[in-house]
């Protein structure tokens, strides 16, 4: 079975590198970047099954990134991550085409469950 | 609302407290998130022991050092939030101006970072002690910084400085290399900052021209003789 290809996008470098390492230990092909612009560039170069995307980042924020991803790659699943999720933010994410909207910190087993759900969608 | 009405005044006071608390708690949550992942990674490596697989002590040490670093970061943020919250305890208090400015600049750095801007400080000389309203003064400086940040369409560097004024008071300067274009919204912000300064018995001076704002100078009166 082909491993899942995940792109982790968050401006906290320590979060990105640690989560990528944990996913790799679970035989998931994971990569990380710390800017929305880098994420869009990486996605243009290489396909990913799932993008795990922080909402609040310097420069292009998560909401703008998801809209751009969905415009170019409607099949790609995007899971939004945030430290503070208001009802409005959840609705905005849903309208932008997010597969799921998760609050930080996130449990790795829950994350893997959502990854599997997204992959089988 | 003209920027000085009572409702606008009350809303701005609450919004300031809310914005700072939300920003700092967001950052504290980021620290918890990283510690959560690092502790999880530690667990992942420890599970190898159950499977009779070797574990690398260097790797464990590296993870533990990263956790300790995040704990220190979290401690600093909690201290900052605590000091900020206590700045509202007494409406008038003795304030170390340098310390207060350093605190509000540190708080504002996250807002700057999200706007792809930076804030630098120029605090030559000794600490300046003033008797003033710490909450209101922080708010005035914070709004000056936010006004500069709102105009940050390029990589803007904002400078916050302080100096002793001729009359024994203090002068706080908030400026950026790129002038901020005046808008109705920014004029309302300036009116609010002017009201803060008026309450503090101080002054606000905007430099230089009709169309742009290059620098905002906040003048504070000297501490009264005890």
Query: In this structure, are B122 and B205 located in the same domain?
Result: yes
Q: Which residues on chain B place their C-beta less than 8 Å from a C-beta of chain A?
A: 22, 25-26, 29-30, 32-34, 36-38, 40-41, 44, 66, 70, 113-116
CA B125 to each of CA B98, B158, B162, B215: distance values in angstroms, whole numbers, following the listed order: 10, 20, 9, 21
pLDDT tens readout for residues B17-60 = 999 999 999 999 999 999 999 999 999 999 988 888 888 899 99
- Which two tokens mark B93? 């208090």
CB contact under 8 Å between A83 and B38, yes or no, is no
Residue A69 has pLDDT above 70, yes or no: yes
Q: What percent of chain A has pLDDT over 70?
A: 99
In this complex, do B40 and A12 lie within 8 Å of one another by their Cβ atoms? no
Q: Does residue B66 sit in the same domain as residue B123?
A: no
- Looking at residue B208, what is its pLDDT? 67
Domain end, chosen from B42, B60, B86, is at B86
Query: Of the candidates B25, B66, B116, which has its C-beta nearest A14's C-beta?
Result: B66
Measured in angstroms, the CA of A52 and the nearest CA of chain B are apart by 14
Residue A14 near chain B (CB below 8 Å): yes
Is there a domain that residue B38 lies in?
Answer: yes
CATH of the domain at B213: 3.30.565.10
B225 within some domain:
no
Query: Are B28 and B74 spatial neighbours (Cβ–Cβ below 8 Å)?
Result: yes
Tens digit of pLDDT for each residue in A21-55?
Answer: 999 999 999 999 999 999 999 999 999 999 999 99
Distance from CA of A32 to the nearest CA of B (A): 14
CA distance B136 to chain A (A): 27
**d(CA A78, nearest CA chain B) in Å:** 20
Summary mean pLDDT of chain B:
89
On whether any CB of chain B is under 8 Å from the CB of A58, the answer is yes
Residues in chain B with CB shorter than 8 Å from the CB of A105 are: 29, 32-33, 36-37
Identify whether residues B78 and B158 lie together within a single domain. no
| Higher pLDDT among residues B215 and B201, named by residue | B201
Q: In a mutagenesis test of the A interface, which of B26, B27, B34, B46 is the best target, namely the one with the most A β-carbons within 10 Å?
A: B34
What is the residue extent of each domain of chain A?
A: 5-119
What band does B190 get if pLDDT is binned at 50, 70 and 90?
confident
Q: What domain range is B79 assigned to? A: 6-86
- Using an 8 Å CB-CB cutoff, list chain B residues near A112: none
> Closest residue of B to A106, CA-based?
B33
Of B32, B44, B70, the CB nearest to A22: B44
Q: Which CATH number fits domain A5-119: 3.40.50.11890, 3.40.50.150, 3.40.50.2300, 2.140.10.10?
A: 3.40.50.2300
Report the domain count for chain B.
Answer: 2
A3 interface with B at CB cutoff 8 Å: no
Q: How confident is the model at residue B1 (pLDDT cuts 50, 70, 90)?
A: very low
Phi (first) and psi of residue B204, to 5 degrees: -125, 130
Max intra-chain CA distance, chain B: 75
Mark yes or no for CB contact B30/A12 under 8 Å.
Answer: yes
In a domain, B226, yes or no: no
**For the CA atoms of B145, B150, B153, B158, what is the dihedral angle to 10 degrees?**
0
Nearest CB among A22, A59, A84 relative to B37 is that of A22
Q: For the segment B127-171, what is each residue's pLDDT rounded down to a tens digit?
A: 999 999 999 999 999 999 988 887 756 667 899 999 998 888 899
Asked if the structure places residue B98 within a domain, the reply is yes
Neighbours of B14 (CB within 10 A): 10
Across B72-90, average pLDDT: 96
Q: How far apart are CA A8 and CA A17, in angstroms?
A: 9
Tell whether the model's pLDDT for residue B97 goes beyond 50.
Answer: yes
Chain A CB contacts of B37 below 8 Å: 14-15, 18-19, 22, 105
Interface test with B, best of A12, A14, A62 (most B CBs within 10 A): A14
């Amino acid at each position: 079975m082909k491993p899942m290809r995940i792109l982790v996008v968050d401006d906290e470098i320590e979060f990105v590198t640690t989560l990528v390492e944990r996913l790799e230990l679970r035989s998931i092909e994971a990569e990380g970047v710390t800017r929305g612009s880098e994420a869009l560039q990486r996605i243009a170069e290489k396909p990913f099954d799932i993008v795990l995307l922080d909402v609040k980042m310097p420069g292009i924020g998560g909401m703008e990134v998801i809209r751009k991803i969905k415009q170019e790659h409607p099949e790609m699943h995007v899971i939004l991550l945030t430290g503070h999720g208001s009802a409005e933010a959840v609705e905005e994410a849903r309208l932008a085409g997010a597969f799921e909207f998760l609050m930080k910190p996130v449990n790795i087993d829950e994350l893997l469950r959502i990854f599997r759900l997204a992959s089988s969608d | 609302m003209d920027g000085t009405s009572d409702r606008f005044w009350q809303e701005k006071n609450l919004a300031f407290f809310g914005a700072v608390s939300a920003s700092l708690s967001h950052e504290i949550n980021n620290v918890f998130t990283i510690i959560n992942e690092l502790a999880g990674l530690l667990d992942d490596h420890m599970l190898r022991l159950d499977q009779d697989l070797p574990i690398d002590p260097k790797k464990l040490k590296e993870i533990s050092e990263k956790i300790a670093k995040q704990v220190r970061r979290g401690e600093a943020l909690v201290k900052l939030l605590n000091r900020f919250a206590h700045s509202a305890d007494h409406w008038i208090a003795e304030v170390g101006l340098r310390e207060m400015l350093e605190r509000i600049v540190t708080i504002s750095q996250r807002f700057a970072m999200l706007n792809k801007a930076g804030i630098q400080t120029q605090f030559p000389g000794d600490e300046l002690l003033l008797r003033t309203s710490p909450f209101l003064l922080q708010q005035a400086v914070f709004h000056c910084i936010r006004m500069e940040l709102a105009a940050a369409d390029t990589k803007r560097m904002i400078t916050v400085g302080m100096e002793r004024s001729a009359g024994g008071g203090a002068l706080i300067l908030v400026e950026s290399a790129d002038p901020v274009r005046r808008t109705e919204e920014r004029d309302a912000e300036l009116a609010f900052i002017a009201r803060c300064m008026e309450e503090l018995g101080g002054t606000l001076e905007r430099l230089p021209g009709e169309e742009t704002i290059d620098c905002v100078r906040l003048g504070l009166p000297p501490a009264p003789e005890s």
